Amino acid sequence: MREHDAGRGLSRRRMLGVGGALGLMAATGLSASAALARRPSFTGAELRSAVPLPPPFQVSLPIPAVLKPVDTSGGTDRYEITQREASAEILPGVKTPLWTYEGTFPGPTIESRRGRPVTVTHRNELPVPTVVHLHGGRTPAASDGYPTDLVLPEGRHDAATNTGHGSEHGMDGMHDPRAVITKLTRDYTFPLDQRPTLLWYHDHRMDFTAPAIWRGLAGLHIVRDDAEDDLGLPAGQRELPLMIADRAFAADGSLAYPALDPTLRERPGVREPYLAGVLGDVILVNGAPWPVHEVDAARYRLRILNASNARHYELEAVSDEGRRLDLVQIGADQGLLAEPVTHRLLPIAPAERYDVIIDFAGVPIGSRVRLLNRLGSGRTHDVMAFRVARHTADDSRIPRTLSTDLPTWRRSDAARVRDFSFRAGRMRGGHGWLIGGLPFDPARTDVTTRLGEVEVWRLVADVHHPIHLHLVGFRVLSRSGRSPLPHDAGLKDTVALRPGEAVEIITRFDGYRGRYLFHCHNAEHEDMGMMANLEII
Ligand SMILES: [Cu+2]
């Protein structure tokens, strides 16, 4: 990780492209030529479920309940969430134990208004420490869910300054003197002074984020404002949050996950051959397998989140007659675009969100529109279906101008340019995923920047790495020296790097001072070192 002038980018980029293929070889056991030739459409290995799987498009789409505040006085909405074990019937007739927010997967949705602060008191009744991060939130550092800011469960108060690394198994007992540990509960305060969008909250504990999300610790958080409400977009029953996540099921109905330590207490990481990412063979939407939803022949607003640990999707909507419907993108991770962008295929990487309008008018009543994943095969090709039930009036619209407040940072605004490589490597004597050649260390400051400064970052990948910055949104400037792709439009907080690709982003570090993170949102990569500290002073 180093700063440099603009001239040195290309040769370095080319070099990392080749190194990337070698990194892939190290990660998956492929030969270098096979890795280069294959240009894989995904990174990771798929677990097979050991229980019978239901046919697609039978279970109805659940909509996560909206959480009621316990108090709304004093200009703040206060919520309480208990993190606890629960069991759910995800597959028909199969009981699956989960780790949950408030007993459900996904957790309850929080609905909030721009600029109206929300405080969530999380109570940890799980058997392990937890950390809550609101992904995409413009949040003061104390509430941003730094991975060592643990909430300890009952009976684990002895571990007061341990980050969660065990001292056995060759772990290095990494110590973080800045960690703020709380016992049993913690209040997270979110000012939500930010563009309206779909956020999500999930566990972010040091070394164990991937298995904790996999077990169910994820929920949605929607921010709205009056300007967006006034646009006339589809709303109410015609606005659907869709949390897409893959999972696999063991013979006893539990979620299968190849953790080295199934108690998720001491030893982080996953077994071979899942080091590059854990994929499931069941596609869940809002916690239901390949669900179906009955719709009117009208426009719908789909608020899509890819909450998968490692699986990428390329979504398309296809009617029973074989017609591909337009996916009209109106928003990105960090809110509304300037104007709509129409896609036939929409790639979505882990942690990305897309705000999309689909119009079911013209689809024959009684027939279906399937949402498919072009990157899947067999059962993972299907995502969900919509059954068009009835004709209806539709007074919704898609304005040609959606927003006028997107930042317009230019390269010449940048105080500096930084380079980061995201590559496979060695850590703690085993396989790791490294940023700039280094595995995450909470005690090392990787980037120091001043509040209010604009920077250009060049991100270079070996395999797929969806890169996420905490606190700030950014714009995509280029991909491998070319223009950004259509789905890079708007303000992002996660950008999907493809194998061998270099992506330039530009952002302004504003909001709050303090210690933040940037990391890969392939959750297995994140747990195996691919995070770095971002100190805003
Ligand atoms: Cu990664």
From ligand 1's centre to the CA of 466, what distance in Å? 6
Q: Ligand 1 centre and the CA of 434: distance in Å?
A: 9
pLDDT at 168: 30
- Give backbone dihedrals phi and psi of 351, rounded to 5 degrees, phi first: 80, -10
Return the pLDDT at 40. 64
Residue 338 backbone dihedrals phi, psi, to 5 degrees: -70, -40
For ligand 1, the distance from its centroid to the CA atom of residue 520, given in whole angstroms, is 4
Cα(535) to ligand 1 centroid in Å equals: 21
Ligand 1 centroid–CA 189 distance in Å is: 29
> Given this model, what pLDDT does residue 167 score?
34
Per the DSSP assignment, residues forming a β-bridge with 382 are 372
The rounded Å distance from CA 281 to ligand 1 centre is: 20
Q: Fill in the DSSP letter of residue 450.
A: -
Q: How far is the CA of 56 from the centre of ligand 1 (A)?
A: 30
Give the model's pLDDT for residue 212.
98
Closest CA to 510 of 190, 198, 140, 146: 140
Q: Ligand 1: distance of its center to the CA of 521 in Å?
A: 6
If we measure between CA atoms, which residue out of 327, 299, 295 comes closest to residue 394?
299
Task: Tell me the CA–centroid distance for residue 83 and ligand 1, in Å.
Answer: 27
* 522 CA → ligand 1 middle, Å: 5
* CA of residue 497 to ligand 1 center, whole Å: 9
Whether 178 contacts 515, CB under 8 Å:
yes
Q: What pLDDT, on the 0 to 100 scale, is given for residue 155?
A: 81
Residue 484 phi, psi (nearest 5): -60, 165
Q: Say how many Å lie between the CA of residue 344 and the centre of ligand 1.
A: 26
Distance 16 CA to ligand 1 centre (A): 15
Ligand 1 centroid to Cα of residue 388, in Å, is 38
E-state strands within 360-453: 368-373, 382-390, 416-427, 430-435, 447-449
For residue 54, the CA-to-ligand 1 centroid distance in Å is: 31
Ion ligand 1 — residues with CB under 5 Å?
Answer: 465, 520, 522, 525
| 391 torsion bin: left (phi>0), alpha (psi -120 to 50), beta (else) | beta
Q: Are strands 514-520 and 151-152 parallel, antiparallel or unpaired?
A: unpaired
User: Which tens digits make up the pLDDT trace of 272-282?
Assistant: 999 999 999 99
- Taking the centre of ligand 1 as the mean of its atom positions, its distance from the CA of residue 463, in whole angstroms, is 7
| 356 touches 325 (CB < 8 A) | no
Place of tokens 């001072």: 513
Amino acid identity for residue 411 in this structure: R
Q: What angle do CA 109, 528, 250 make, to 5 degrees?
A: 65
The whole-number pLDDT of residue 157 equals 53
H helical segments located in 151-275: 209-214, 226-229
Q: What is the pLDDT of residues 78-110, one digit of tens each?
A: 999 999 999 999 999 999 999 999 999 999 999
Residue 112, Ramachandran bin (φ over 0: left; ψ between -120 and 50: alpha; else beta): beta
Q: How many CA atoms lie within 13 A of 432 on its CB side?
A: 18
Assign 3-state DSSP to the chain and report helix, strand, coil percentages, each to 5. Answer: 10, 40, 45
Q: Tell me, in angstroms, the distance from the centre of ligand 1 to residue 180's CA.
A: 27
**How would you write the pLDDT of the chain (537 residues) with one tens digit per residue?**
444 433 333 333 333 333 333 344 344 444 443 444 445 667 899 999 999 999 999 999 999 999 999 999 999 999 999 999 999 999 999 999 999 999 999 999 999 999 999 999 999 999 999 999 999 999 999 999 999 999 999 886 544 444 444 333 333 446 799 999 999 999 999 999 999 999 999 999 999 999 999 999 999 999 999 999 999 999 999 999 999 999 999 999 999 999 999 999 999 999 999 999 999 999 999 999 999 999 999 999 999 999 999 999 999 999 999 999 999 999 999 999 999 999 999 999 999 999 999 999 999 999 999 999 999 999 999 999 999 999 999 999 999 999 999 999 999 999 999 999 999 999 988 899 999 999 999 999 999 999 999 999 999 999 999 999 999 999 999 999 999 999 999 999 999 999 999 999 999 999 999 999 999 999 999 999 999 999 999
Residue 277 CA, ligand 1 centroid: distance in Å: 8
Q: Could you read off the pLDDT of 73-83 as tens digits, one per residue?
A: 999 999 999 99
Ligand 1 centre and the CA of 43: distance in Å? 9
For residue 188, the CA-to-ligand 1 centroid distance in Å is 27
pLDDT (0 to 100) of residue 387: 98
